[in-house]
Structure 1
Amino acid sequence: MSKIEHASGNSNLQVEHFTFLPSIADNIREASLVISHAGSGSIFETLRLGKPLIVVVNEDLMDNHQSELAEELAERNHLLCAHPQTLRETVEAMDLNALQPYVPGEAKPVVALINQFLGFPVD
């Protein structure tokens, strides 16, 4: 893990970044802001931990489902969505107080419906 510190005016910015960790849950818990790629695992892990999130969409992916997920959650005010070229402007303009907490849905009704459709016993 690498750490970058930057002092500007009266504020200090401390950035930690890494290329790979087996689990980032502890890092997310300690963070005041998470900037992440648009992978669904990273998005939902951060939102479940209640941390403000800026998702940076990889525009080079074909059939970019990551972009669709990030943009939908941004429309619902659960996170902020940026592109590599707009990240700086997104950080400068962000209002973290406008973000709404993410409340995970209940999966049991969906599972029961799928089981019923497939002819499996329904609990």
Structure 2
Amino acid sequence: MLAFVTVGSTQFDSLIQSVLSEPVLLSLRRRGYMNLILQCGNSQLDLARCIETGNTERVTKNEVDIEYWKFKPSLQEEFEKADLVISHAGSGTILDVLRLGKAVIVVPNPTLLDRHQEELAKALSDRGYLKAATISELPKAIAEIEPSSLQLFPPQDKSRFAKILDEEMGF
């Protein structure tokens, strides 16, 4: 099975370090995730420096095959392939993954100035759409997440915007 980790365009080195740590890799392996793809964004870690050219690198660590890279034009293919997504708590990323019906563990970035990521993660977790975790809780979150028990996210209603616009315009 495949786990995909994304930090978006930010620098979220603590999430990357956690994902590559023995406790997280052990939790992934115990759940059957033997393949890991890591999008490391603007990381300042050594692994990110070796892929400055845009290349993809591959390593095996703790019996988990890991592919890592900085950016791609779209993450859609990775979201679709993944059995589990571990993500920063960016709203766009969360919505993209939930609309695909994928299991997702969201880790808010504690270095951001406001707490919007934490608020969003908690609200969606409280509603059962995803599992929210901190960096230190990540191994436990991986061990505990049950994709079949997560609520399906409601499908996008594209007509809603038109209805709101019509109401505002008096139609």
Shared fold (TM-score greater than 0.5)?
Answer: yes
Shifted more, 42-51 versus 98-107: the winner is 98-107
Change (3 A) 1:114 1:21: same
**Helix, strand or coil for the counterpart of 2:112?**
coil
> Matches of 1:77 and 1:95 in 2, distance apart?
11
Relative distance call for 1:109 and 1:49 in structure 2 (3 A) is closer
Structure of greater relative contact order (alpha carbons < 8 Å, 6+ residues apart): 2
Q: Paired residue for 2:17? A: none
The aligned residue for residue 30 of structure 1 is 81
Over 3 Å counting, the alpha-carbon distance change for 1:64 and 1:8 in structure 2 is closer
- Sequence identity percentage: 32
Equivalent pairs counted in the alignment come to 117
TM-score (norm 2): 0.59
Q: Is the 8 A contact 2:84 2:104 kept in 1?
A: yes
1:85 Cα deviation after fit? 1.3
- Cα deviation digits, residues 32-74 of structure 1 (max 9, x gap): 1000110011000001111110111111222211211111111
CA gap of 1:79–1:12, structure 2 versus 1, over 3 A, is closer
Structure 1, 77-86 or 6-15: larger mean CA deviation: 6-15
User: What runs of 5+ residues in structure 2 fail to find an aligned partner?
Assistant: 1-19, 41-70
Q: Alpha-carbon deviations, 1:5-31, whole Å to 9, x = none?
A: 979579462111123211010111111
Runs of 4+ in 1 over 6 A off after TM superposition: 4-7
Q: Aligned-residue CA RMSD in angstroms?
A: 2.7
Instruction: Report what 2:116 is aligned to.
Output: 65
2:35 to 14, 17, 22: 14
The equivalent of 2:101 in structure 1 is 50
Change (3 A) 1:112 1:11: closer
Q: Which segments of 5 or more consecutive residues in structure 1 lack a partner in the other structure?
A: none
